[in-house]
Every structure is written in structure tokens, then in C-alpha cells.
């Protein structure tokens, strides 16, 4: 079943929430909140595709809410449609200046609500499709290098803010050129796709992400994961790949091994020499240590000595 787009409806009047939910619930998954603080919290937790936001609310009005949403790195790109009884040009100008995507005026017209919401959702889905294509490796179907750097930067600064450990693994298929020369590039492509799938199967959390680093190399980002935890994931992936058979044809099973380098740290808030680039470089050095000391093994930065 195709997943429905999600909409967060925010209004302090129960009657308006009921009306909007009734209009939208057939096409979308609808969440509701009754005040500005609840909207900000729900937006961060649910990451809805679209927010329908009342302007006139007590304590925190809609203009203040959208300003807070746009300042937050996680929620700044969620489009907001104001739903309001205010119909003067100054209020509309204020809303658009703050980043509103559209306005729906009260009293509500079901057909107008559906059309304006549908227009925004179509834009969102089109942009998401374009983005997904731009960050996906065409051969393996996992993230590409662009996806990796975007995701690493996001997780790096999240770990810095929360002072939690972040682990990075870089994996290389051993002697892949020899494998290609022996079995051909089409079979080599099958192995690349197969290894990508085996990496994903080794994850136990949705927040763990993998990308094709380039050629026969893959990168893995494990948020909130200690060095020991990263070793467990790496060894599981290494062993799974080693045990897997890649059929060159129905009578010819083949196999490959991988070497993996690991780096783990809690990004410091003040240390000037610490950066995502240096973090990646450390894992890369650990990978080369693994390859230079026998291959088909897992090494960490600490193993280099």
C-alpha cells in the first residue's frame, strides 16, 4: 500500500480541527495540535509533509509559531499553510514574509481546502522525487556520495549538540578488480548490489544509513553508537559478506570479502581541529590498515598505533 502524505493541523478551536480532519483524512494521514507549543514539538517529532496553521491562537500566535519553525534546522523546510479568518493584505504579507506557502481563509470551503492542500502536496512530492534521484546511487539503490556528506554533516552537528557518540565505517571489497577481471563487469555489478543489500540487512535501526562511497567502497553512518557497538555492526557485515555466495551462473558460486575501517567520537563543541572531514579521514586510514594487514578484517583508528 502506498504511504499517505502527512499533515499536521494546528488550531485552538475544536470545531475547526474536526472540520479540517474530516476534509483531509481520506487522502492524508492527519495529526492535530491545539496550540503553538504543541505544533513545534509535533513538527520535530513527526516531520509532517505539510502544516495547516491557525493564525489567531492564545499564548503563541501563528506568526510566532512559523518564525520558530523556520529557525529550527529540522523543521525549516516544512511548508506551512495559514488557515485564518484574517483577510487583510497586511496580515497576508506578514505571513508570506515569514515563509508561509499559502493561505486558506475561514469560513472553510472543503473544495478550496482540498485544492490548496493538494497543490502543495504535489509540489512536495515532485521535489522529493527530484531530491531522491539526486542522492541515490543508480546501480545499488542506496545513497550516493552526495547523500553521505549531507547526512554526515547533519548527524555530526546533532551529535555535537547532544554530546553523543557517532560512528563511521568505510568498507572496501577486497581484490575487486581481480574479481571483475575473472567474472566480468556485469557480475561485478551484481556483487556491488548484493553487498549493498547485505549492509542494509545488517542494520537494526532506521537511523543507521549506508551510501556507496565510490567504486567498490561503501560508507556507513551509525548515530548514537559507541566504538564497541560499531565493531559489532562491522563484524556482522564482514561475516555476512564472507559467507554469502554470489552466483556467476547457476553452476558457479563465487564469494568476496570486505575490509572495514572504523572511527568513532563524540564531536567536541570547542575543539577547532575536529571536523567531519578529519573524522572520515580517520576511518579511511583504519581501512587501509585493515587492507595492509591481511584484508577481510575490521580495524579501528585505535588499531593503527
Plot region of 88 (φ>0 → left; ψ -120 to 50 → alpha; else → beta):
beta
3-state DSSP assignment of residue 86? coil
Contacts 24+ apart (CB under 8 A), 157-165: 157/267, 158/223, 159/223, 159/224, 159/266, 159/267, 160/267, 160/268, 160/269, 163/266, 163/269, 164/223, 164/224, 164/266, 165/224, 165/225, 165/226, 165/227, 165/264, 165/265, 165/266
The answer to whether the Cα torsion of 38, 42, 43, 45 is positive or negative is positive
Question: Catalytic residue among 153, 216, 250, 277, which?
Answer: 216
Cell of 194: 548484493
217 is known as an active-site residue? no
225 vs 70: CA distance, rounded Å: 30
Active-site amino acid positions? 216
Amino acid at each position: 500500500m502506498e504511504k499517505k502524505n502527512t499533515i499536521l493541523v494546528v488550531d485552538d478551536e475544536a470545531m475547526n480541527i474536526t472540520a479540517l480532519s474530516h476534509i483531509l483524512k481520506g487522502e492524508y494521514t492527519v495529526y492535530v495540535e491545539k496550540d503553538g507549543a504543541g505544533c513545534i514539538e509535533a513538527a520535530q517529532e513527526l516531520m509532517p509533509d505539510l502544516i495547516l496553521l491557525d493564525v489567531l491562537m492564545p499564548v503563541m500566535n501563528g506568526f510566532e509559531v512559523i518564525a520558530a519553525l523556520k529557525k529550527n534546522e529540522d523543521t525549516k523546510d516544512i511548508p506551512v499553510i495559514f488557515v485564518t479568518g484574517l483577510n487583510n493584505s497586511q496580515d497576508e504579507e506578514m505571513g508570506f514574509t515569514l515563509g508561509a506557502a499559502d493561505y486558506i481563509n475561514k469560513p472553510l470551503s472543503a473544495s478550496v481546502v482540498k485544492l490548496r492542500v493538494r497543490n502543495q502536496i504535489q509540489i512536495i512530492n515532485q521535489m522529493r522525487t527530484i531530491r531522491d534521484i539526486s542522492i541515490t546511487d543508480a546501480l545499488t539503490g542506496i545513497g550516493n556520495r552526495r547523500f553521505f556528506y549531507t547526512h554526515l554533516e547533519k548527524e555530526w552537528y546533532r551529535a555535537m549538540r547532544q554530546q553523543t557518540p557517532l560512528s563511521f565505517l568505510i568498507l572496501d571489497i577486497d581484490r575487486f578488480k581481480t574479481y571483475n577481471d575473472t567474472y566480468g563487469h556485469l557480475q561485478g555489478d551484481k556483487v556491488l548490489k548484493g553487498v549493498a543489500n547485505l549492509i542494509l540487512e545488517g542494520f537494526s535501526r532506521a537511523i543507521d544509513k549506508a551510501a556507496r562511497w565510490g567504486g567498490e567502497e561503501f560508507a556507513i553512518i551509525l548515530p548514537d553508537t559507541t566504538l564497541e557497538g560499531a565493531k559489532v555492526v562491522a563484524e556482522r557485515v564482514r561475516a555476512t559478506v564472507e559467507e554469502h555466495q554470489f552466483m556467476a551462473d547457476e553452476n558457479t558460486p563465487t564469494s568476496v570479502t570486505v575490509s572495514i575501517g572504523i572511527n568513532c567520537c563524540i564531536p567536541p563543541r570547542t575543539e577547532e581541529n575536529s571536523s567531519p572531514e578529519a573524522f572520515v579521514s580517520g576511518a579511511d586510514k583504519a581501512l587501509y590498515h585493515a587492507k595492509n594487514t591481511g584484508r577481510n578484517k575490521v580495524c579501528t583508528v585505535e588499531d593503527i598505533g
